[in-house]
Amino acid sequence: MKLESMDISATASASSIVFSALRKAIIEGQLEEGEPLRQDEIARLFNTSRIPVREAISRLEEQGLVRTQRYKGAVVAGLSPTETAEIFDLRALVEPEIIRDAVPRMTPELLTKARKKCAAFASAKDPMHYGDLNRDFHETLYSASELKFFLEIAGNAIDRVERQIRAQLVMSDGMERAGTEHASILNACETGNAELAAKLTRDHIQGAKKSLLLHLT
């Protein structure tokens, strides 16, 4: 199992640490679709009992990152093309509302930070960082929003398709196109045009979905 061992035997929040480590490994593709999550092995890696491991896996299952299969137990969940499309469609509904709410609240400091995130994404060379840089840019803009539940839904949806987003950016002209679209979204935010920012965000997500599905089907 591709997990870095860690001694958390004396840590009060052992379950949260295991949860965070497993979640990161799944999102980043270190734990692949269908890979079993053996509680004994994970407990040994973290030098803890099976109880916090069981709790962590249960939380991951609630988020859709893990599913239980007969005879196999808990395994890393995968997504069919139909499920992937549904999640992108959900994002295309939720994230435009977030950025529409966020634009009037954006400070010059936040926009400067977003500009740096945009530039970092555009200049990225390592495919392993594409997904993180893409997420950093969007979440920087979204952070001005006060739509707490929308933000939670968007975050969970992005978690589910993080691996697919990275793949989409690597394929064809994904990075170049995304960089151009990011710049347009940011410009709309800087000019205070919330409606345009929302439209561009929706188009950006739907475009990524279309590009990804062409390679999945």
Q: Are residues 87 and 190 both part of a single domain?
A: yes
Same domain, 143 and 85: yes
pLDDT in tens, 118-142: 999 999 988 778 888 999 999 999 9
**Domain span at 120:** 81-216
Residue 29 sits in a domain whose CATH number is: 1.10.10.10
Instruction: Tell me, yes or no, whether 110 and 179 share the same domain.
Output: yes
**End-to-end CA separation in angstroms for the chain:** 29
- Please give the distance of CA 84 from its chain centroid, rounded to a whole number: 13
Residue 46 · residue 53 · CB < 8 Å: yes
Give a yes or no: residue 22 inside a domain. yes
Q: Are both 53 and 147 inside the same structural domain?
A: no
Domain count, the chain: 2
* Residue 178 near residue 170 (C-beta atoms within 8 A): no
Q: Which residue has the higher pLDDT, 79 or 21?
A: 21
Distance CA 30, CA 160 (A): 14
The span from the CA of 105 to the CA of 98, in Å, is 11
Strand partners, 76: 66
- Radius of gyration, CA atoms only, the chain: 19
Residue 55 lies in a domain: yes
Look up the CATH number of the domain holding residue 134: 1.20.120.530
Position 3 confidence tier, pLDDT thresholds 50, 70, 90: low
Q: Is pLDDT at 12 greater than 70 in this prediction?
A: no
Least confident of 5-9, 15-19, 21-25, 128-132: 5-9
Q: Which residues pair with 36 in a beta bridge?
A: 75
Q: pTM of the prediction?
A: 0.76
Residue 187 sits in the same domain as residue 207: yes
